[in-house]
Structure 1
Amino acid sequence: MASEDVVGKSRSDSAVSTIVNLAEEAKLASEGVKAPSHAAIFSICKSLVAGGVAGGLSRTAVAPLERLKILLQVQNPHNIKYNGTLQGLKYIWRTEGFRGLFKGNGTNCARIVPNSAVKFFSYEQASRGILWLYRQQPGNEDASLTPLLRLGAGACAGIIAMSATYPMDMVRGRLTVQTDKSPYQYRGMFHALSTVLREEGARALYKGWLPSVIGVVPYVGLNFAVYESLKDWLVKSRPFGLVEDAELSVPIRLACGAAAGTVGQTVAYPLDVIRRRMQMVGWSNASSVVTGDGRAKASLEYNGMIDAFRKTVRNEGFRALYKGLVPNSVKVVPSIAIAFVTYESVKDVLGVEMRISD
């Protein structure tokens, strides 16, 4: 009996020990699953915050030039108010004051912050996915991102970000072109959204979406491709004795961003002009359609992107596709540069190890 008790006790202890071990293993496994998950979510949030801060800061810094660019794009060719960058900025200052220079910037930031956050994050994920697919091909197991792959990842990021925030861009354009001489139809961003929905329907919030998406492919794609490729070349060629990406100074990063912005906006600018004009269709209170005596004048109607291109070139010439290019160029150079540098700097501050170069 004693030996049976001992055997029973031994088996009981063994069973308890097994259960305890299984419980501990389950606990460790559970913790092992949860920890990376929480860490990944936290890293994603920090990456989105970095992108949002980069977008808001870079766009606010050039808000006056952004507003002037849109006013030049859509102004009535028979009632010219803005003849250039300096004259246009002085005219806005004289007629609307300091606040006029930043009109529409609140709405713009409400759009650009999530847009920039989604864009940078989407680029990181798209570049990872594209590189993974590229490495599945025989002989490319150890391949790295090429300028063409970066262009594809940037294009994907631009399309996703543009589509997600396009209604905000549409109403921002209308808020921006309102002046003291045009009836104030919109009191703010939410009033503009509700008014357009009520008077023109939900489809109106996506007027000009097609040229926007077509334009964002070369614009955002080239921005990322040129910026990352320039940095990669600087590191590999070592003209300044650099050995890794982290050693690139802020001025060098700003120069890379400026070059990226210049190339991207020059290629995509005509599509941006057409997008703005299509957004104004159906609205008679834009500054572009107000005559000298303050009366509203009917705007051109466009049946689509091709029709808008054709009518713009026929009525105003090919140069009309580049209206506002000068203030836009002055704006894009610091804007894109500030966005890239701010994004990477904020990620460094927040402790996010993954960089867009990775």
Structure 2
Amino acid sequence: MASEDVVGKRSESAVTTIVNLAEEAKMASEGVKAPSHAAIFSVCKSLAAGGIAGGVSRTAVAPLERLKILLQVQNSHSIKYNGTVQGLKYIWRTEGLRGMFKGNGTNCARIVPNSAVKFFSYEEASKGILWFYRQQTGNEDAELTPLLRLGAGACAGIIAMSATYPMDLVRGRITVQTDKSPSQYRGIFHALRTVFVEEGPRALYKGWLPSVIGVIPYVGLNFAVYESLKDWLVKTRPFGLAQDTELSVMTKLGCGAVAGTIGQTVAYPLDVIRRRMQMGGWKNAASVVIGDGKTNAPVEYSGMVDAFRKTVRHEGVGALYKGLVPNSVKVVPSIAIAFVSYEVVKDILGVEMRISD
């Protein structure tokens, strides 16, 4: 009997151990899978919010975006576009409604992934920088400073711009070409293939360096100013603009507008040089792209410094700000709409993390 009791107790113990191990394995398995799926779903929703925000904001200002590029690259000795109002009227008269939105499909194909990567990269870079900053200072309650936000925004801008740069190049070329251009790009993939075959793979990254340099103050200042201005409004509550920790949509639009104005003004000359380097050497755009005033042929640039030098020598310092007016009119609502759209879509999708978080 004693022997049977011992065997029985051992059997019960073994069964209990097996059941416990099974339960632990199940819990461990569920504990790993649930957060993993939740994290992936959250990332997808965050990327979707950024992409939608980019597409909505860029489509809203597509005519001004096209006019800006045409002003940036037009030959100063054969002027077609002479200001914002005249330029828009000329496009409408010569090309109609389709002309106003030419290149917008390509632009959205570029800006949707670009915006998705940019917003997501900013959030991830902000979390990483904040963690490192708290480790260095030993203050677990420390918050991001404007300078650290500038760094996070710069990282996000460089990553997003580099990932989608070939799309930006062909978007610019499709936007610039007209019905009178000797040869036509029939679409995004045709343009990518044509540039790759006729000009080589390096041509897909023409103007990349000034883009990298320009994106640091542009995107960096956009995020830094937007977030810092929101924080200041929440803490000080001037003119009753903030209720508790929430800002109205109109107030957020105002923050985005201020951020966009500061960022684009600082980085604009680099944007002009980037666009001209992208068009340089494109033989089928001779009637549109800047020339030397004698042959009316597109100018070749050996690099960023050479592009600056030739632009200033042929057209003066003012050429570095060609298209600034339509860009200013465009960038203010564009940046504002992008930020607000992003936060609204994240609210709709139920993403808990906000940019400030």
Whether these two folds match at TM > 0.5 is yes
Structure 2 residue aligned with 1:249? 248
Structure 1 residue aligned with 2:88? 89
Show the 5 A alignment for 1:34-53.
34-53=33-52
Aligned counterparts of 1:107 and 1:326: Cα–Cα separation in 2:
23
Residues 154 and 220 of structure 1 are in contact (CA less than 8 Å); yes or no, is this contact kept in structure 2?
A: yes
Whether 1:316 and 2:315 are equivalent positions in the alignment is: yes
Whether 1:24 and 2:23 are equivalent positions in the alignment is: yes
Aligned counterparts of 1:326 and 1:17: Cα–Cα separation in 2:
77
Q: Give me the CA root mean square deviation.
A: 1.3
Structure 2 residue aligned with 1:133? 132
Residues 64 and 89 of structure 1 are in contact (CA less than 8 Å); yes or no, is this contact kept in structure 2?
A: yes
Where do 5+ consecutive residues of structure 1 fail to align? none
Q: What whole-Å deviation, never above 9, does each CA across 1:1-47 have from its counterpart, x for those lacking one?
A: x2212210210111011011111011111111111111111100000
Residues 284 and 297 of structure 1 are in contact (CA less than 8 Å); yes or no, is this contact kept in structure 2?
A: no
User: 1:206 Cα shift?
Assistant: 0.1
* TM-score, L = length of structure 2: 0.96
Q: Which moved more, 1:202-211 or 1:133-142?
A: 133-142
Structure 1 residue aligned with 2:10? 11
Residues 69 and 324 of structure 1 are in contact (CA less than 8 Å); yes or no, is this contact kept in structure 2?
A: yes
User: 1:290 Cα shift?
Assistant: 8.8
Aligned counterparts of 1:355 and 1:241: Cα–Cα separation in 2:
20
User: 1:182 Cα shift?
Assistant: 1.6
Show the 5 A alignment for 1:169-184.
169-184=168-183
Aligned counterparts of 1:144 and 1:290: Cα–Cα separation in 2:
47
The alignment-based identity, stated in percent, is 82
* TM-score, L = length of structure 1: 0.96
Structure 2 residue aligned with 1:270? 269
Number of equivalences = 352
Aligned counterparts of 2:353 and 2:188: Cα–Cα separation in 1:
35
Q: Which moved more, 1:277-286 or 1:99-108?
A: 277-286
Q: Which moved more, 1:203-212 or 1:130-139?
A: 130-139
Q: What secondary structure is seen at the aligned counterpart in 2 of 1:309?
A: helix
Structure 1 residue aligned with 2:282? 283
Q: What whole-Å deviation, never above 9, does each CA across 1:92-116 have from its counterpart, x for those lacking one?
A: 0010010000000000000000000
Q: What whole-Å deviation, never above 9, does each CA across 1:165-195 have from its counterpart, x for those lacking one?
A: 0000000000000012222331111000000
Aligned counterparts of 1:185 and 1:281: Cα–Cα separation in 2:
17
Show the 5 A alignment for 1:136-285.
136-239=135-238, 240=240, 242-245=242-245, 247-285=246-284
Aligned counterparts of 1:39 and 1:217: Cα–Cα separation in 2:
32
Residues 106 and 167 of structure 2 are in contact (CA less than 8 Å); yes or no, is this contact kept in structure 1?
A: yes
Structure 1 residue aligned with 2:343? 344
Change (3 A) 1:213 1:244: farther
